[in-house]
Amino acid sequence: MARNTNLNLIRSTTVVKSLSDKDILTNIKNGNFKVTSYKKNSVIHFDGETCSKLEIILSGKVVVDRIDESGDLFTISEFYQDDILGGNLLFSKNPYYPMTVSSQLPTDILEIDREALFELLYNNPIFLRTYLELISDHAFILGDKIKHYINKTIRESIMNYLRYESKSQNSNHIKLNITKKALAEKIGVQRTSLSRELAKMREDRLILFDTDSITLLK
C-alpha cells in the first residue's frame, strides 16, 4: 500500500479525523503513530498479551475468537475498517487482551502509543470527546453481546430478535432481511435447532412464519 494512500486512510478514520494535519504528521514522524500490516489469518494479539497501544483498523477484517475444549473455533466479534481495538482496555491496571485477536483478511492497522494517545486526549477536547464516544459505543456493543449470550433458550433468543425487529420495523409482521441460516448464526445456534424451535413456536401459537417473514402473534 502506497505511503500517501495510508496517510489519507489515517486521516479519514473517526478517531484521527479531529486532529490537525500537523499533529498527525508529527506523531507519524516520531513513531507514535505506526502502521502495521498483517497477512490473512495472522494472530494480532494472543489471549493474555499486554495491551499497550490503541489500534485502528485501516483496512481488512479482524476477528476475536475463542477455541473450546474440543478445539472448535468460534467467532465472538468482527471488526472492520475504522473500528478500534484495545480502546477499552488500554488504561486498565490489567491491560490484558482477554481473547485472541486475529486478522481474517489482509489487514492494515494504525497503532497509537498509549502515552501519545493520552497526550492527545488531554490537549484536545474534541478528540477526547470523539474517543470517549467511540469507546462508549464499543462498551455498549459488549453489553449487548452479554445480554445476548445470556439468553439461555433458543426461544428467548428468537423472541429477543423478533421484539427488536418488530419495534424497528414498527409492525408485528417482520420481514426477514437475512436468511434463516444467517439468523441461526446470528443468535448462535444450529440452523436445524432454529427451524425446530420456530415450528414449536408456531404450534404454541406464538408466531406464524414462511420463508422470508415471521409474524408475532402475542
* Chain contacts with a second copy (rule: CB under 8 A): 66, 68-69, 76, 88-96, 98-99, 118, 121-122, 125, 128-129, 132-133, 135-140, 142-147, 149-153, 155-156, 159
Residue 198 binding result from DNA, a second copy, none, given CB thresholds of 5 to 8 Å by partner type: DNA
Among 7, 114, 180, 215, binds DNA (CB under 7 A): 180
Classified as helix, coil or strand, 39 is coil
Looking at the Cβ atoms of 91 and 209, the one nearer to DNA is 209
CA distances for 46 relative to 77, 102, 108, 142, angstroms: 15, 8, 18, 19
x/- mask, DNA, residues 98-137, rule CB under 7 A, reads: ----------------------------------------
3-state secondary structure of 190: coil
- Binder of residue 179, out of DNA, a second copy, none (CB less than 5 to 8 A by kind): DNA
Distance separating alpha carbons of residues 111 and 16, to the nearest angstrom? 12
Helix (H) or strand (E) holding 169: helix 154-169
Rounded to a whole number of angstroms, the minimum distance from the CB of residue 130 to DNA is 37
For DNA, the binding residue among 47, 155, 172, 206 (CB under 7 A) is: 155
Phi first, then psi: give them for residue 152, nearest 5 degrees. -90, -45
165 binds DNA (CB under 7 A): no
Distance between CA 108 and CA 55 in Å, rounded? 10
Q: Are 74 and 66 in contact (CB under 8 A)?
A: yes
| The three three-digit cell numbers of residue 51, written as one number | 495491551
Indicate whether 213 belongs to the interface with DNA (CB under 7 A): no
